[in-house]
Structure 1
Amino acid sequence: MTVLVVLLVLLLTDPTVSQSTDDVNNTNISNHCRGRAPTSNFIRNRNSTFDEMRRRLLSERVLYARAQDLSGGDSVFAAAQCRNYLSVEQCVACFDVAFSELAKCIVSNGAYVFLDECYVRYESFDDFYDNPNATVDGASTQLSSCGNVSTNRSLAEYTQSVDEFLSDIRDATPKTSNLYVANIRQVTSGNATVYAIAQCAENINPAICGTCMSTAYSKLKECLPNTEGRFFDMVCFARYSETPFFSANQTIDITNILRGRHSSKVATIGGAIGGVVLLFLIFVSWLAYRRLKKNSKTEQEDLQGTLNYNYKDLQLATNNFSEENMLGRGGFGEVFKAIIDDNNVVAVKKLQIHSAKAKEEFENEVMLISNVHHRNLLRLLGWSSEGSNLLLVLEYMPNGSLDRFLWGAKRGTLNWNQRYEIILGIAKGLAHLHNEFHIKIIHRDIKSSNILLSHDFKAKIADFGLARFHPEDETHVNTKFVGTLGYAAPEYVLCGTLSDKVDTYSFGIVILEIISGRRCTDMNSERPSMEYLLEHAWKLYEKKIHIKFIDETLGLNQHELEHVMKIIEIALLCTQSPVSKRPTVSEVLLMLQDGQSLGKRMLTRPTFLHNQDRRILIGSSKNSISVPMLCLLLAGIKLGWSLEMNI
């Protein structure tokens, strides 16, 4: 009710007079509404989170607050942060103006607003708490603006002086305890005074802050020789101006923070050049260091903010890895539910060490997922390595794995909208691995049991033990097959040919499982041919009756039926051979999001791999083809003749 009353007052008055003190600028710089139309319950939950944040700002006397409301299945997560030079009352005044703007987003389940003195954001997911750049559409939230007044002093001298000042602000901010700097500097012989601040989101680590500050510096530098500039992002904010916007007694001395920086430029450049080697040495040293570590966990964040846990603490948190706490069992270990760090529920993955392979899997998974952050990829929270005891601490997914809802105990409980959102989430996670991370990563083991579901049934790709980097200058690499038969692409199983299209194929199989509610390796006993899922889907599609492929537990209207049949066609497109016929996951994502049809693409018959014997048959049992020749066909190399293959 508090927020609703505040909103009513704001709508009846000029927002600029809602400030509790003078000289506080609550001008709306930028705001954005996105997502789909929310329910009335979502709106109520959103209002309650804003009510709670406002209460916390006032009662706890803080400038940063978060809140959430998960009631009725409509999850809302929100955060607000004010500039550190404000009083609490000024912060709340800015918050009220921000809420009056966000309340206008009546057709969106996610939105943010940037004001000069604060920013406020709400979403239907909580990933942005730890990764402020997380968005539904992957769009950037960066914004910069420059004043329209140029200095009347010496341009060259002014530009150089302010540039050096902004450079100092950039370097100092990530090194402060609260990731915030406010400073004043006299520049040029014209005796100009420049005010500058920089502030990073309160819940990120210094490394992420430093990256954002480098971008902010580059953008503000472009404003010179103008007397004012601003940079906005979910991660950080920076501003400079000749007009005072905070008091002179609110500055922070950065002299000691910057001491020695200028004298070590050569070493810094050398360190940057050798950064990859240094990270490798840090990781190797970490393995040896853990054997000597006695404390429960280290405060170091040498792997992107993840924590190093003590084995005995995790053993206690899982009740000695008891059956009652077990969440699942995989090829390389078991997963347990645990409660750590003041009642935080997590999942602990215990790897079984029977060979050097398991240790390699562990090191691979730690190195990969400690650096990859996306709302559709399972987040690594920490690890433990003591002798042969290798543990990963992962975010807990209360709804478990997708397969439980397709053919397990909860079969038939997912409606079509939930299944479609899961398909979309998997595509977004894979697209990030393939194209949006700084190096291409191929998962190699996409399957329904490796797709975990959050409390609101958002999909997260898990189990990166088999993932590997892919060289950017190569279309594919040849390697030994590891993965799961039934989900793995035929060219990879038979020939060891690995490319991102292997993940595309596996994704197509998972889509078929989601739509049919059947396991890909289960045979269709209703037909004499005992077809596996992909073959069954293809034959129904050939006869234009693939409507029969849809899970009978789904009660669909006509519009939904048409949508599902289109998704079946996209899944079959993903499973085509040769490899060149398959789209990339990014192309699939566009088809899914935009509701595109296949257009001029013609579907070709997939290569069917019969898992029980992996025989290669052509036309009839009397004909056969060698594996090397088959590999050429699967790669798309024309041999001058055509064959219909049943593999």
Structure 2
Amino acid sequence: MMPTLAMVLILLVAMEVGVAQPTTKTTNISNTNTTPLKFFCGSNYAMSQTTFFGNLNSTFSQLRSHLSNPGVYYARAHGSENEDAVYGVAQCRNYLSSTECLACFDVAVSILQPCGLANGAHVFLDNCFLRFEDYDQFYDDPEGGSNVEVLELCGNESTSQPITAFNQAVQELLFDIGVATPRTSEFYIASTRQVVGANATIYAIAQCVENVSQTICKNCMTRAYNNLYKCLPSHEGRAINVACFMRYSEFPFFQNNQTVNFTPFLLSKGSSGKFGTTIGVSSSVGLVLLIVALFLWFRRWSKSKAVEKEFKGVRCYSYEDLKLATNNFSEEYLIGKGGFGEVFKAVVDNGIVVAVKKLRVGFRAKREFENEVNLNSNVRHRNLILQLGWCSDGAELLLVLEYMPQGSLDKFLWGEKKGTLNWKQRSDIILGIARGLVHLHEEFHFKIIHRDIKSSNILLDDDFQPKIADFGLARFHPEDQTHVSTGFAGTMGYTAPEYATRGRLSEKVDTYSFGIVALEVISGRSCSDVNYSGAQMEYLLDHAWQLYEKGMHIKMIDEAIDPNEYQEENVKKIIEIALMCTQLVSLRPTMSEIYLMLSSEPQLKQRQISRPTYNVDRRIHIVGS
């Protein structure tokens, strides 16, 4: 039944295959894309080929029969003749007709055919999902008792709409449907939202596997939302998991009359008080009842506001919970130290791994803490660390952030993982940092200047994409230390001179720091290290400028990088952009200009680059040489 070649191939290929969805813009709603978003073949092979394929075909036949019924979008079936039982589940998006659902199911079956004798596989397409296993527990618990990673797939083009308004519309829509979906009977919502100030509509759906519990659906929706916002400002994005699916696009993929009114599912249960029915009672009894009613109303109102705050992304954690999750902030959970405090790894909310930053701040900063956290919690971008929550308990101020297992960039440049980044990863990191700073400076609804961009504040995800940490925290710096205190390793080398010496703050302060970090990424050297050259020592920026003046700046590149991985002109272009960032403030480009130069210009137009500015004269002559 199964071609021999296919069974041989499955033994040779990797066990998991992810395929990015094509991002061709289209308004053809009926178009069914047959490219899988992701598919997986398990490693548990059947014992009997004949029995297994008989059970598999029986399972597929039953699933197809169920889905052929009008209005049926979810089906379960099994074939258990003798050994090698096969349990299957299929689910279509509710905006499909029965014919379209069956067409997608047939494509899914064909995609899984090369899995051969693997008794366990699944495939995600835009319009449907198919899975089979040799056990039935996955019906009720698709993730097997643990939080399986939610994978986000982002479009490769930015939106054509005004970015700030587009991002806000998408975030609000995804948040609302993520909250409402677990409360619906079918675990499914399709909805739209207008982009403010533009003649544009956002289309989005959210769907959980129909048989799971409301808790599983809610947890999966939360993780899907937290991942999918990273795609912005891409024109489309998807979040996929064996328990749920979420998608948005600025182009329609379902009809306008197929939306679901989810407003009733957003209303808090019991939120309407009965204050008006209490007042008509006679004086003494009425006063007591009035007080009771006011108390109940206030408690409900407070609870409603707390829920509302959490839904906006600002989860308020209790200090005792965070203390317990970090074993009383013990050394074994410590993963980093910095100018703002210590960072601990913790597991919260039934298995979610997070980073808990314990801040050291003064009284003045503490008064501003909650407002600042509320503002920064709305900053969502693929190159910025996500703030999940916070805690304020007396003198204790803590932030709960997404956890980055790879750690900080500096470890890969001159730390224990030195020399492990290739040129593609390094150039992507430089571009990603620039993209994150553009969002802070220009795309958010108010300007955020980081003030402390440095390699230790750049964290890397599993794909080595950079995420800027500690943005918006500069005002919470310890009051007994200046922002450019040498107690913070390397900060003096990153800080723009006009800010360090005269306190002149603008977004160009971050531009200067970005230039320094870019030179570090290219060279694999810290800006505070010195290079001996004859009778003097040169810091990294000095060294880069000296080489540039001689037309030899390609020599800046880290020797650990394979010369076959890069084109010299591209490396020289990025070095020149980095040097532009360190000029006088009036000559520095903005981060949006830098991003454009990095991403779209094959080579720089001829433009003069002036000598970098420094905080102090750092050329140190060796005495007696």
TM-score tier by shorter-chain length is 0.5 to 0.7
Q: Which residue number in structure 2 is paired with residue 528 of structure 1?
A: 535
Q: Which residue number in structure 1 is paired with residue 609 of structure 2?
A: 603
Q: Which residue number in structure 2 is paired with residue 537 of structure 1?
A: 544
User: How high is the sequence identity, in percent, across the aligned residues?
Assistant: 53
1:404–1:410 contact (8 Å) kept in structure 2: yes
Task: For 1:307 and 1:497, locate their aligned partners in 2 and report how far apart those are by CA, in whole Å.
Answer: 35
Q: In the TM superposition, what is the alpha-carbon distance from 1:453 to its structure 2 partner?
A: 0.8
Q: Which residue number in structure 2 is paired with residue 107 of structure 1?
A: none
Task: For 2:34 and 2:434, locate their aligned partners in 1 and report how far apart those are by CA, in whole Å.
Answer: 24
What letter matches 1:449 in structure 2? S
1:429–1:460 contact (8 Å) kept in structure 2: yes
1:393 aligns with 2:400: yes
1:326 aligns with 2:334: yes
1:303–1:370 contact (8 Å) kept in structure 2: no
2:409–2:460 contact (8 Å) kept in structure 1: yes
Task: For 1:29 and 1:426, locate their aligned partners in 2 and report how far apart those are by CA, in whole Å.
Answer: 37
* Secondary structure at the counterpart of residue 504 of structure 1: helix
* Secondary structure at the counterpart of residue 493 of structure 2: coil
Match of residue 255, structure 2, among 233, 239, 256: 239
Alignment of 1:433-582 (within 5 A): 433-466=440-473, 484-557=491-564, 559-577=566-584, 579-582=585-588
**CA-atom RMSD in angstroms:** 5.5
Task: For 1:48 and 1:93, locate their aligned partners in 2 and report how far apart those are by CA, in whole Å.
Answer: 20
* Secondary structure at the counterpart of residue 339 of structure 1: strand
Task: For 1:253 and 1:511, locate their aligned partners in 2 and report how far apart those are by CA, in whole Å.
Answer: 46
Cα-to-partner distance string for 1:197-255 (whole Å, 9 max, x where unaligned): 985567668xx99xx9xxxxxxxxxxxxxxxxxx97279976345xxx89xxxx97989
Task: For 1:31 and 1:500, locate their aligned partners in 2 and report how far apart those are by CA, in whole Å.
Answer: 43
Q: Which residue number in structure 2 is paired with residue 164 of structure 1?
A: none
2:516–2:527 contact (8 Å) kept in structure 1: yes
Deviates more, 1:494-503 or 1:391-400: 494-503
* Secondary structure at the counterpart of residue 525 of structure 1: strand
What letter matches 1:343 in structure 2? G
1:408 aligns with 2:415: yes
Q: Which runs of 5+ in 2 are unaligned?
A: 8-27, 45-55, 76-89, 114-123, 131-146, 163-175, 192-202, 209-219, 230-246, 268-298, 476-481, 486-490, 621-625
Task: For 1:400 and 1:198, locate their aligned partners in 2 and report how far apart those are by CA, in whole Å.
Answer: 33
Cα-to-partner distance string for 1:451-499 (whole Å, 9 max, x where unaligned): 001122111000124358xxxxxxxxxxx96683211112222222222
Task: For 2:449 and 2:309, locate their aligned partners in 1 and report how far apart those are by CA, in whole Å.
Answer: 26
Match of residue 138, structure 1, among 129, 136, 158: 158
* Secondary structure at the counterpart of residue 335 of structure 1: strand
Q: 1:236 to 1:440 in 2, by over 3 A?
A: farther
* Secondary structure at the counterpart of residue 356 of structure 2: strand
Q: 1:238 to 1:597 in 2, by over 3 A?
A: same
Q: Which residue number in structure 1 is paired with residue 195 of structure 2?
A: none
Q: Which residue number in structure 1 is paired with residue 87 of structure 2?
A: none
Task: For 1:350 and 1:447, locate their aligned partners in 2 and report how far apart those are by CA, in whole Å.
Answer: 20
Q: 1:136 to 1:440 in 2, by over 3 A?
A: farther
Cα-to-partner distance string for 1:572-622 (whole Å, 9 max, x where unaligned): 111111x23211111211222224322032111111223889x9xxxxxxx
Q: Which residue number in structure 1 is paired with residue 424 of structure 2?
A: 417
Q: 1:338 to 1:83 in 2, by over 3 A?
A: same
Task: For 1:50 and 1:239, locate their aligned partners in 2 and report how far apart those are by CA, in whole Å.
Answer: 36
1:593 aligns with 2:599: yes
Match of residue 104, structure 2, among 87, 94, 116: 94
* Secondary structure at the counterpart of residue 442 of structure 1: coil
Task: For 1:64 and 1:234, locate their aligned partners in 2 and report how far apart those are by CA, in whole Å.
Answer: 27
1:47 aligns with 2:67: no
* Secondary structure at the counterpart of residue 255 of structure 2: strand
Q: Structure 1 length normalisation: TM-score?
A: 0.56
1:298–1:309 contact (8 Å) kept in structure 2: no
Highest RCO, 1 vs 2 (Cα 8 Å, sep ≥ 6): 2
Q: 1:181 to 1:486 in 2, by over 3 A?
A: closer
Q: 1:252 to 1:383 in 2, by over 3 A?
A: closer
Cα-to-partner distance string for 1:63-117 (whole Å, 9 max, x where unaligned): 799xxxxxxxxxxxxxx985447799975753655898999xxxxxxxx9866x9
* Secondary structure at the counterpart of residue 440 of structure 1: coil
Cα-to-partner distance string for 1:415-470 (whole Å, 9 max, x where unaligned): 111111111111111111122222222111110000001122111000124358xx
What letter matches 2:104 in structure 1? C
Q: In the TM superposition, what is the alpha-carbon distance from 1:335 to its structure 2 partner?
A: 0.3
What letter matches 1:517 in structure 2? G
1:376–1:426 contact (8 Å) kept in structure 2: yes
1:310 aligns with 2:318: yes
